[in-house]
Structure 1
Amino acid sequence: MPDNKTVRINNRLYDAATGLPIEEKAPKTTTKKATGRPHTPAAAIHSAPQRSQTLHRRSTKKPGLPKRPQPGKHMDIARSSAVKRFAPHPVTTQPDPAPVVKDAPAKDHPIVKRAAAKSTPTKSVAATPKQIKDAAIAKALAPDSKRATKKKKESKTKQHKGWTRRKIVFLAFLLVLMGAAAVTYINLPSLSVAFASSQSGVDATYPKYIPSGYGLQQPVTFSNGEVALTFASHSSDHQYTITQSSSTWDSSAVLENVVKKEAGDNYTIDQEQGLRIYLYDQNAAWVNGGILYVITSDAPLSNEQMRRIATSL
């Protein structure tokens, strides 16, 4: 619309004839497209080989420094005989040839010489009839001498083996004898008591407890219906005797017939493992299983030792 038909009021455009506002169109802004580098894929970089920039030395001459001009050789000048500063030319003398030394001839090694000497055939000498006869006799006697030597060796070996076997048997017998002696010595008291028991008719026993410092005195004495075991001290003259005899008494009879006759009322009574033991004047008496046991002692035995002896029978 022409500018004379429009009126601008408060920065707004109106139609002069109608008085209506006219909308103004904003000018179009043209945007320029950015021109960037074209995208090249990574695989396309190595698709075309690059031309070589190396010189071909076969067809190109190697560069070098320029040659400098060299001075030319001067001609020799005639020398005056009056000038003495010039040294005379040395005269070359050829050295005398060295004398030729001839090599020593090759020598055989001593080992090779010995081997060759062994391999050389020796001349055979015909044997005389006497030598032949002696050789035949020696050959005939050789087996007998070898056989005799072999027999001697065998006899010596047999004797040695026999002596060794006898030694072994003797040592074994000696060991058995020593073992039997040791066992017999250990069990000798029990064996002695068993022998006395069988001879007297009393079922006597050997005590399991013996006070320290005492040992059974041999031989074990016995009589008809009675066995006596005497134990003596190893360090003094003290001893005690255990008498075992067959009896039908009970404890009351033992008290009346043995204890009171010996000690009167000076006695004590101990009950130990069902036994009624009477102790008086370092002596003891009790009955058990039809056997009367009496201990008579001059040794300083305590009541506790008496009780242990009684319970061990």
Structure 2
Amino acid sequence: MSQQSVVSIGGVDYDGRSGLPVKKQEVTVQQELRRVQSAHAKVVHNTHQRSAALNRQFVTKATPTTKSATVPVRKTAGSMDMRRVTKRSPHISKFARTPHGVVERTPAVKDIAVVSHPVVTKAHHTAAARTASAHKAASPTARDIKHTELGKALANATHDHKQQTPKPHRRALNVAVASLGVLLITGYFTYVNMPNLSVRVAAAQAGIDASYPEYRPIGYRLNGPVAYQDGQVSMKFASNSSPVAFSLNQAKSSWDSSALLEKYVDPRSEGKYATYNDAGLTIYTYGTDAAWVNGGVLYTVEGTATLSNEQIRRIATSM
């Protein structure tokens, strides 16, 4: 067959006269191989089929027939599968009969970096912190420089020390001022405690255990010296804003509260009195006067001052 009578279409050679592919036998072989492979693959997934043998009791035996001659059917060029006759690259392994083995890549092992011990790391950090603090302390601030320079200037400055001689009159003045202060303080305490001192002196002279009341009604002051006689002490309190006054008398007595009421209060009040009990004391009040006994001492309040019952009771409990 000459070269001019062969036509190549899609990589397949065809006869220019008949239109048939030149390599017909090779194509048929490839088709048969494909069919065998697909049949083998389907057989694997098939299940057992039921028996199809005929029961000769009911079906007559078939008579032999002569085999009829088969006539091969030629396929036209248009009905051929181009994928089966197309040449494939040897590098394609997807459709290969025996697939190539896949080479697995082993991951590359990286080297482990050098890691310092935690104790060493901590020691390095501590040393770095100490070094930083030392540098910071070593660098003086502007304020430190200022104080340093001022100290140097004061140290280098010349001082004219004049010898100071103590003056006699100044020393005497200091002694006099100190003595005056002591006298003033002593006088103040003496003035504050003068009533107590006066009562104590009078009680010693009268031979009685007399005392000065810790409570004094507001607006009243001790008027005059403390009077005393044998077995009796008397002190007078006057008002700061009016001529009224009252006297507080203390005398020796062996009476109790009942005897005081019978022999002293009832005759003077004509039965018009009031009785109060406070801090273990029985206090009798009548008009502007009052009386009570405590520890062998008779206490009486007399005068023109109108004291309330609360004030009289506070005077009695403060003695």
2:201 aligned partner, one-letter code: F
2:211 aligned partner, one-letter code: T
Residue 246 (str. 1) matches residue 252 (str. 2): yes
Residue 19 (str. 1) matches residue 70 (str. 2): yes
Deviation at 1:246, TM superposition (A): 1.2
Moved over 3 A (4+): 20-27, 31-34
Pick from 177, 188, 191 the counterpart of residue 171 of structure 1. Answer: 177
1:201 aligned partner, one-letter code: G
| Equivalent position SS for 2:167 | helix
Pick from 75, 79, 85 the counterpart of residue 28 of structure 1. Answer: 85
1:227-274 superposed Cα distances (whole Å, 9 cap, x missing partner): 101111112211111111111111111112211221121111111111
1:19-75 superposed Cα distances (whole Å, 9 cap, x missing partner): 1657978662125799xxxxxxxxxxxxxxxxxxxxxxxxxxxxxxxxxxxxxxxxx
Aligned residue for 1:181?
187
Pick from 288, 293, 305 the counterpart of residue 299 of structure 1. Answer: 305
| Equivalent position SS for 2:203 | helix
| Equivalent position SS for 1:18 | coil
Residue 268 (str. 1) matches residue 274 (str. 2): yes
Aligned residue for 2:201?
195
Q: Distance in 2 between matches of 1:164 and 1:254?
A: 67
Q: Distance in 2 between matches of 1:163 and 1:234?
A: 46
Aligned residue for 2:167?
161
| Equivalent position SS for 2:224 | coil
TM-score by length of 2: 0.51
1:164-217 superposed Cα distances (whole Å, 9 cap, x missing partner): 111111100000001111111111111111111111111111111111110112
Q: Distance in 2 between matches of 1:23 and 1:213?
A: 154
Pick from 208, 213, 217 the counterpart of residue 207 of structure 1. Answer: 213
1:18 aligned partner, one-letter code: A
Unaligned runs of 5+ in 1: 4-16, 35-152
1:109-151 superposed Cα distances (whole Å, 9 cap, x missing partner): xxxxxxxxxxxxxxxxxxxxxxxxxxxxxxxxxxxxxxxxxxx
| Equivalent position SS for 1:204 | coil
TM-score by length of 1: 0.52
Superposition pairs of residues 126-165 of structure 1, within 5 angstroms? 158=165, 161-165=167-171
Unaligned runs of 5+ in 2: 1-17, 21-67, 92-161
Aligned residue for 1:129?
none
2:232 aligned partner, one-letter code: E
Pick from 259, 264, 280 the counterpart of residue 258 of structure 1. Answer: 264
Q: Distance in 2 between matches of 1:235 and 1:269?
A: 30
Pick from 229, 238, 242 the counterpart of residue 223 of structure 1. Answer: 229
**Alpha-carbon spacing, 1:23–1:165, altered in 2? closer, same or farther (3 Å):** farther
1:264 aligned partner, one-letter code: E
Superposition pairs of residues 93-112 of structure 1, within 5 angstroms? none
Deviation at 1:161, TM superposition (A): 2.0
2:261 aligned partner, one-letter code: L
Q: Distance in 2 between matches of 1:296 and 1:209?
A: 17
Identity %: 42
1:29 aligned partner, one-letter code: T
